[in-house]
Chains A and B, each alone.
Chain A
Amino acid sequence: MSSTLPFFPPSASTVASDVDYLYFFILGVSAFFAVLVSVLVLVFAIKYRRNKPEDIGADIHGSLSLELLWTGIPFILAMVMFVWGAQVFFTLSKPPADSMDVFVVGKQWMWKVQHPEGVREINELHVPINRPVRLTMGSEDVIHDFFIPAFRVKMDVVPGKLTTMWFTATKAGEYHIFCAEYCGTKHSGMIGTVTAMEPQDYEAWLAGGRATGSAVQNGERLFSDLSCVTCHKADSTGRGPWLGGVFGSTVTLNDGRKVVADENYLRESIMNPQSKVVQGFQPIMPTFQGMVSEENLLQLIAYVKTLKPAEPAPAPAKK
């Protein structure tokens, strides 16, 4: 494991230093107040130590201006920490548009990773440096949490939905992956390694991997094997809507609600189709819960994302 200091984690992603600066700021403020109060307490204890048992202190009841001062200053500092923390959090929550997708499935007690090109790994994640990587994650059983301390990123992996996180690695090396949400017997064994590589090394690694069809190819095969294609037809004569261009669009439901078709919408529509039915269609689609694994789901979604709209999109010049 590459490590610089024996008491500080390696800093190997673009956001790591943002997080560290915030940490040092709060550490500085905290240290100031901890030292201030401790010194005052000790100085008072020594200076005003009681001489005779019956001695009494000065007749002081309080001071409004002091109260306002020590209410106001902590409040302002706390708000600065809030805004700064929120800013870092928003950076961590919004993956760049050009992110490379990788799919992760957590199960007791391993991490299964699939690259878009089809290469799979277990408890390992190879990524190129200097390129944003977006992980789309699902769980097959209980809640897990994908944590890479060197990148300062962490996200729960929750059964029943898909969650995402992203990072851009900046330094080649090997770093820990930990499961950070307690998940049973071998929780502390649900660990792995991220290998951040120079882009050319990553390409070489991908080429040498045992690809079993890309995620999109696997998704396409599933789309046909599971007979999705019999209803979701491209010529809009099917019993279900054509899925081309659906991803990322706003869909109107039969109760009039409008929802954005993101990964979680697609996931829910496969596992629990009755919960959100598109306007103009009957709630006749069966559930695929128990028939498709979390990995299959991620492949299906990858495939649906690639489908093109049936008629040309009205707005041109969109790439």
Chain B
Amino acid sequence: MSNEASVHEQSYLGAPHGLASWLLTKDHKRIAILYLISITIFFAVGGTFAAMIRAELVTPQGDLLSSDLYNKVFTLHGVIMIFFFLIPSIPATLGNFLLPIMIGAKDLAFPRINLLSWYIYVIGATVTLAAVFNGGVDTGWTFYTPYSSMSSNTSVTTAALGVFITGFSSILTGFNFIVTLHRMRAPGMTWFRLPLFVWAQYATSLVMILGTPVVAITVLLVAAERALHLGIFDPKIGGDPVLFQHLFWFYSHPAVYIMILPAMGVVSELVAAMSRKQIFGYSFVAFSSLAIAIIGFLVWGHHLFVSSQSIYAGLVFSIITMMVAVPSAVKTFNWTATMYKGAISWESPTFWIFGFMGLFLVGGLTGLFLGAMGLDIHLTDTYFVVAHFHYIMVGGGVMGFLGGLHFWWPKMTGKMYNETAGKIAAMLVFFGFNATFFPQFIVGYMGMPRRYHAYPPEFQFFNVLSSAGAVLLGIGYTMIVIYLIYSLIKGPKAPANPWGATGLEWKIPSPPITHNFSEMPVVTEEAYDYQHAPAPQRGVK
């Protein structure tokens, strides 16, 4: 008894030791680390495919890769980045690690299911990688029918199966978070004392459990049509190809909110902490997350304005799409207002927030161009769309993830990384990102279609810019991996609360003990009570 208790009083990283203790762990913090390692590997794989795309597009001729290989490369870039990096990125790593701690719980409601979700992710990823080595897949990550179901002769069925399996990992995570939030909040942790990161995770979890089953069944139907010639999507055997697009986007548009909502949650935490000031308009920021999650389910048809969908259906989807812009604007203004009369520290997490704000602004505003139907006709399926969704999903999503990682890294690992390196990386990624993707807006309006292996010469200038920017971006991302790993080996020990932040996670040691809290915390104050916040345990540089 006393022996077991003492194990739980030690750092979660230290005890017990050994590979098996990690692979069989039920500790949400260790599972978060397992996910962090897995998604980093997939980010590197997806990034390698991106590098191949940018290398090919330096010249207008398709001279580096064959057309078939190019098509496989952009498909795998999309499939891996979306299903195996972006969707699990924040929820399964930062969310897994922080959600129980932030609400004062020992773990998630279902620790075994949490571990199961990671294994399902690994199995799904393995099946998808099997498709890569078994000839690849060339349908685009969108798997549009009837090309995917009847025309492509690549490993579509295997890849679809991989995506199907991975979906369950996402469903289980969302389900676990929702139950945990309803059942396991510490005494005094009312809904309106929850950190906004937790609100964002709640909204994300709703999308995960309501949307993911639809995409799972949709890709399964594609596989069924390929294997059994059931007439579902192919008109030659009685199906409807546009039906696929409705089903696919019913999930895949909300999936964008799975990627961006958690990043918004991270930014809400960071803006308040780095300004040491109460978040401006707490309830507006919290409810805007729910509004985005709910309205986000009703906009899928804006992907179908040129698909032969009824023009009246298009009208409805367009007006709702325009409405979903409003809660995002509300968040942005509230973050900005939080900085007003704040005490803003210029440490590395701040640099990541600025990067997020700049890129998310551009990403969100360019969504308006695509929601306006008459303009979308010209822009859809061009590089304008490619630029827009990279600004949201990578500019917003990945900047938010990296900001969160830099903010909570001391808590998660017990080590401090090099501040200067963190700032340089944030700026490299910000400028590299803009150099890569801003030219794509221009070349998109000029008319360059996406998924083109070769292109007319007048588009070359912008493609060269884009590829050059990608080099910067690649250096920035690589740098982060290096200095974060270096910090594990040589970094100074992190104090419990290096930023002087509020929140239960900063009241416990870095890294936390296995059971998070030595005794059950009782919450008596609102979130972001910076008027009574402790001083940072490290000097501001």
Closest residue to A162 on the B side, CB-wise?
Answer: B308
B268-299 Cβ-contact flags toward A at 8 Å (1 or 0): 00000001111011101000000000000000
Q: B447 contacts which chain A residues (CB < 8 A)?
A: 9, 147, 149-150, 176, 178
Within 8 A of B (CB), among A13-31: 18-19, 22-23, 26-27, 29-30
Q: A71-B326, A89-B377 in contact; A57/B342 too (CB < 8 A)? A: yes
Nearest Cβ in chain A — how far from B473, in angstroms? Answer: 20
Contact between B374 and A180 (Cβ–Cβ < 8 Å)?
no
A62-102 Cβ-contact flags toward B at 8 Å (1 or 0): 11001100110011001101101111111111000000000
B300-329 Cβ-contact flags toward A at 8 Å (1 or 0): 000001111001001100110011011001
Contact between A181 and B278 (Cβ–Cβ < 8 Å)?
no
CA distance A58 to B305 in the complex (A): 48
Segment of B89-97, B160-168, B378-386 engaged in the interface with chain A: B378-386
CA distance A76 to B442 in the complex (A): 27
Contact between A61 and B278 (Cβ–Cβ < 8 Å)?
yes
Nearest Cβ in chain B — how far from A13, in angstroms? Answer: 11
Contact between B326 and A8 (Cβ–Cβ < 8 Å)?
no
A117 at the B interface (CB under 8 A):
no
Contact between A23 and B445 (Cβ–Cβ < 8 Å)?
yes
Q: A57-B530, A63-B281 in contact; A156/B306 too (CB < 8 A)? A: yes
Nearest Cβ in chain A — how far from B79, in angstroms? Answer: 14
Closest residue to B452 on the A side, CB-wise?
Answer: A188
B321-357 Cβ-contact flags toward A at 8 Å (1 or 0): 0110110011011101101111111100010001001
Contact between A182 and B442 (Cβ–Cβ < 8 Å)?
no
A284 at the B interface (CB under 8 A):
no
* A/B pair count, beta carbons within 8 Å: 303
Contact between B535 and A54 (Cβ–Cβ < 8 Å)?
yes
A208 at the B interface (CB under 8 A):
no
Closest residue to B381 on the A side, CB-wise?
Answer: A180
Contact between A48 and B280 (Cβ–Cβ < 8 Å)?
no
Q: A50-B276, A149-B446, A184-B147 in contact; A91/B374 too (CB < 8 A)? A: yes
A194 at the B interface (CB under 8 A):
no
Nearest Cβ in chain A — how far from B410, in angstroms? Answer: 15
Range class of the A interface residue count: 35 or more
A16-60 Cβ-contact flags toward B at 8 Å (1 or 0): 001100110011011001100110111011001111111111111
B478 at the A interface (CB under 8 A):
no
Segment of B32-40, B246-254, B392-400, B454-462 engaged in the interface with chain A: B454-462
Q: Main secondary structure on chain B at its contact with chain A?
A: helix
CA distance A271 to B518 in the complex (A): 73
A141 at the B interface (CB under 8 A):
yes
Please tell me which one of the listed residues A26, A33, A53 contacts residue B536 in the complex, with CB atoms under 8 A apart: A53
B126 at the A interface (CB under 8 A):
no
A1 at the B interface (CB under 8 A):
yes
B228 at the A interface (CB under 8 A):
no
Contact between B332 and A37 (Cβ–Cβ < 8 Å)?
yes
CA distance A142 to B140 in the complex (A): 14
Q: A41-B354, A143-B146 in contact; A19/B326 too (CB < 8 A)? A: no
Please tell me which one of the listed residues A9, A81, A93 contacts residue B371 in the complex, with CB atoms under 8 A apart: A81
B16 at the A interface (CB under 8 A):
no
A186 at the B interface (CB under 8 A):
yes
Please tell me which one of the listed residues A41, A52, A108, A159 contacts residue B357 in the complex, with CB atoms under 8 A apart: A41
CA distance A229 to B336 in the complex (A): 73
CA distance A207 to B450 in the complex (A): 38
Residue of B152, B234, B336 ringed by the most chain A CB atoms within 10 A:
B336
Please tell me which one of the listed residues A54, A89, A154, A159 contacts residue B236 in the complex, with CB atoms under 8 A apart: A159
Contact between A33 and B365 (Cβ–Cβ < 8 Å)?
yes
A160 at the B interface (CB under 8 A):
yes
Contact between B277 and A56 (Cβ–Cβ < 8 Å)?
yes
Q: A160-B240, A188-B454, A189-B454 in contact; A30/B322 too (CB < 8 A)? A: no
Please tell me which one of the listed residues B308, B334, B361, B372 contacts residue A26 in the complex, with CB atoms under 8 A apart: B372
CA distance A84 to B68 in the complex (A): 41
Nearest Cβ in chain A — how far from B358, in angstroms? Answer: 6
Contact between A180 and B377 (Cβ–Cβ < 8 Å)?
no
B481 at the A interface (CB under 8 A):
no
Residue of B238, B242, B281, B358 ringed by the most chain A CB atoms within 10 A:
B281
Q: Main secondary structure on chain A at its contact with chain B?
A: mixed
Closest residue to A84 on the B side, CB-wise?
Answer: B372
B369 at the A interface (CB under 8 A):
yes
Q: B71 contacts which chain A residues (CB < 8 A)?
A: 182, 184-185, 187
Q: B357 contacts which chain A residues (CB < 8 A)?
A: 37-38, 41
A289 at the B interface (CB under 8 A):
yes
Nearest Cβ in chain A — how far from B241, in angstroms? Answer: 6
Nearest Cβ in chain B — how far from A115, in angstroms? Answer: 23
B434-453 Cβ-contact flags toward A at 8 Å (1 or 0): 00000000100111011111
Closest residue to B68 on the A side, CB-wise?
Answer: A185
Please tell me which one of the listed residues A49, A92, A185 contacts residue B377 in the complex, with CB atoms under 8 A apart: A92
Within 8 A of A (CB), among B475-529: 500
Q: A161 contacts which chain B residues (CB < 8 A)?
A: 235, 308
Nearest Cβ in chain B — how far from A259, in angstroms? Answer: 14
A145 at the B interface (CB under 8 A):
yes
A216 at the B interface (CB under 8 A):
no
Contact between B339 and A145 (Cβ–Cβ < 8 Å)?
no
Q: A9-B445, A57-B342 in contact; A67/B330 too (CB < 8 A)? A: yes
A155 at the B interface (CB under 8 A):
yes
Q: A289 contacts which chain B residues (CB < 8 A)?
A: 236
Residue of B144, B361, B500, B531 ringed by the most chain A CB atoms within 10 A:
B361
Contact between A66 and B337 (Cβ–Cβ < 8 Å)?
yes
Residue of A30, A48, A88, A156 ringed by the most chain B CB atoms within 10 A:
A156
Residue of B340, B368, B375 ringed by the most chain A CB atoms within 10 A:
B375
Q: A30-B366, A145-B381, A163-B308 in contact; A188/B453 too (CB < 8 A)? A: yes
Given contacts A50-B345, A62-B280, 7 further A-B contacts (CB under 8 A): A41-B354, A45-B354, A57-B341, A155-B377, A160-B235, A178-B447, A188-B62
List the 5 shortest-distance A-B pairs measured between CB atoms, nearest first: A88-B374, A160-B235, A149-B447, A57-B277, A85-B372
A selection of 30 A-B contacts at a CB cut-off of 8 Å is: A1-B458, A6-B461, A7-B446, A22-B375, A26-B369, A26-B375, A40-B339, A48-B339, A48-B341, A48-B343, A48-B344, A50-B343, A50-B346, A53-B345, A53-B539, A54-B500, A58-B341, A60-B278, A61-B282, A62-B284, A70-B329, A149-B382, A149-B447, A158-B242, A161-B235, A178-B452, A184-B71, A185-B138, A188-B454, A189-B67
